[in-house]
Amino acid sequence: MVERNKVEPSVGSLLGDYRLEQLLEKNEAGQVFLARHSSTGALFRLRVLAVPPGLEPEARIIYLGFFQKQANQVAELQNLHILPLLSYGTYQGIPYLAYQYYPTESLSKRLGQQQGPTNTIVAGRYLDQIAEALECSHQSGIQHCNLSTDCIYIKQDGNLVVADFAVLQMLARRDGYMHDAPSSGQEKGAKHELLFGMNESSSPAPEQLLGNPVDARTDVYALGAALYRTLTGHRVFRGKTRHELAQQHLNEPVPPLEVWRHDLPAGLDNAIARAMAKNPQQRFARAGELANAYHQLVAPNDRNRRAFVAASVPALTPVVSEKAKLPEARDRQTGVSRRKALTFIVAGGSAIAAVTVVSIFGIHALQNNSAPTQASVSTTPTGGSTGHSTSTPVTSHGRVLARVSDIPPNSDKQFSLAGSNNPGLLIHLQDNRFVAFNSTCTHAGCAVNYNPQNKLLECPCHGAVFDPSKNAAVVTGPATTPLAPVQISVNADGTITTGS
């Protein structure tokens, strides 16, 4: 008899509520599919975790309980630069994670296709966004543990999202070993296979290879490696086998940047070497510290960038999150009951793990950056026949979303929005007005995108279209109501802010 946990999904099959349409990647972690929800038609990035055959029923129940607990914690992460985990569950003993789907390409692919090295300003923008995602997860006690340019994706608007938080930990528990305790030789070998097999560009920290405890500095090590590759186009270490790579990460110094390019400021080698120190105690304590050090070397007089500050990463306080208070909102987007996602039926019994739900607000660690405010109406700097507008720029106040010069006419910029699963959209219309809306489609909760060709907001899930120049009025259904506006102010100092 074939064991249930030997089943491997394939394109065309139905995994619970998801129809698998395209295999996006396959590695030792499992498979990633483009999947469509059978009820709503919404697209998802569906990661199916590889569960080894032969697990005893009790071991499988324990693993699936741990998977549920870990997935629930990851699902509570809310940040513009974290790929949202919208649903998770098991089907015929197979655990899966359903993420929001964006048309994207990996940072690895972008680096492999571009001509010449990455501009230091662009690299710094990438670094800030990745560091923001890591600081958000670290505040809630979640380490990524397998960060690489393979799991960092560039969306069509140019912003980055980091995927697959804690997936490696979920996979580690399936084989019965821990990431927070010393390992035997056999366990280390299995761990190395996962560490290097999940992503081609993986840069495991020495403590991971040795089976020692991990913390935020483990991700700082990987962030240093990702920055090195972004700047040079090359990986830090290039062993022929996984064993050689492991030995290089354990023993070899970081090659100087000048091996690949000669236009970088002095001191940058030291910053990356500190991020990738073999001893975690010698590294930057936080991802934001590496980002600050980079910008201090590359653009010390840049007043437009606001540094990460430790004061904005407060101690974790367990509270009920806004997402937990609004289960119906999530159900509309995923088409899946949250109660269903939280319950696993295994061998006729249920394995339910109790998890503290954490609210995450104000994670970006930006100096003088106030908390996000509730959605309201939009205000713009010039008068017009539609929308709420003001003809006089006002004094700067509230949370800064962008500068006027940052957004050319007929373009948009995303920003984080409290109380929403989707980001806000700040749009510079061709008539020089600025408007902002919650990007959540009023039909099924998918995130709409701005199309500069027709100057409209389009929903990728069911085709609804909205006109931003007319208060996001519905142009084409199935939506019947406009998008929710967000209050903004265009200020005399050239900033665009929201809130008070």
CATH code of the domain covering residue 66 = 3.30.200.20
Question: CA 384 → CA 65, 379, 402, 430, distances in Å?
Answer: 56, 11, 22, 12
User: 438 in a domain, yes or no?
Assistant: yes
Query: What is the tally of structural domains in the chain?
Result: 3
Residues 305, 339, single domain; the answer is no
pLDDT at 7: 60
Residues 137, 29, single domain; the answer is no
User: 457 in a domain, yes or no?
Assistant: yes
Round to whole Å and give the CA distance between 3 and 433: 61
Q: Does the global pTM surpass 0.75?
A: no
Burial level of 425, CB count in 10 A (0-12/13-18/19+)? buried
**312, 339, 369 — which closes off a domain?**
312
User: Among 102, 85, 13, 94, which residue's Cα sits nearest to residue 49?
Assistant: 94
Round to whole Å and give the CA distance between 457 and 68: 36
Residues 172, 290, single domain; the answer is yes
User: 239 in a domain, yes or no?
Assistant: yes
Residues 112, 72, single domain; the answer is no
Count each helix (H run) and each strand (E run) in the chain, helices first. 13, 21
User: Among 417, 446, 336, which residue's Cα sits nearest to residue 103?
Assistant: 446
Pairing outcome for strands 14-15 and 434-438: unpaired
| Token couple for 75 | 């699902």
pLDDT at 67: 87
| Token couple for 59 | 């071991």
Round to whole Å and give the CA distance between 294 and 218: 18
pLDDT at 238: 87
Residues 145, 255, single domain; the answer is yes
User: Among 157, 160, 159, 161, which residue's Cα sits nearest to residue 450?
Assistant: 157
pLDDT at 327: 30
**265, 284, 312 — which closes off a domain?**
312
- Asked if 238 and 149 touch (Cβ cutoff 8 Å), the reply is no
**259, 282, 312 — which closes off a domain?**
312
Report CA 89 to chain centroid distance, whole Å. Answer: 20
User: 368 in a domain, yes or no?
Assistant: no
User: 293 in a domain, yes or no?
Assistant: yes
Round to whole Å and give the CA distance between 185 and 208: 13
User: 181 in a domain, yes or no?
Assistant: yes
Residues 69, 162, single domain; the answer is no
Residues 125, 234, single domain; the answer is yes
CATH classification of the domain holding 470 = 2.102.10.10
Strands (E), 38-121: 43-49, 85-91, 94-100, 104-106
pLDDT at 99: 94
Parent domain of 86: 4-100+323-350
Residues 155, 224, single domain; the answer is yes
Residues 344, 293, single domain; the answer is no
Residues 135, 47, single domain; the answer is no
The per-residue pLDDT string of the chain (500 residues; one tens digit each, 9 = 90 and over) reads 334 445 678 899 898 889 999 999 888 788 999 999 988 899 999 999 887 666 677 777 788 888 888 899 999 999 999 999 999 988 877 889 999 898 889 999 999 888 888 999 999 999 999 999 999 999 999 999 999 999 999 998 889 999 999 998 888 755 443 344 444 444 444 455 666 656 667 889 999 999 899 999 999 999 999 999 999 999 999 888 888 999 999 999 999 999 999 999 989 999 999 999 999 999 999 999 999 999 999 988 888 888 888 644 433 323 223 333 323 223 323 333 333 333 332 333 333 232 222 222 222 332 333 333 333 333 333 333 223 333 234 444 578 888 888 888 988 888 888 878 788 899 999 888 999 999 999 988 888 888 888 899 988 777 889 999 999 999 988 889 999 999 999 988 889 998 74
User: 382 in a domain, yes or no?
Assistant: no
CATH classification of the domain holding 161 = 1.10.510.10
Residues 163, 182, single domain; the answer is yes
pLDDT at 193: 60
Round to whole Å and give the CA distance between 293 and 295: 6
User: 289 in a domain, yes or no?
Assistant: yes
Residues 40, 89, single domain; the answer is yes
Q: How far apart are the first and last CA of the chain?
A: 64
Run of H or E including 123: helix 120-139
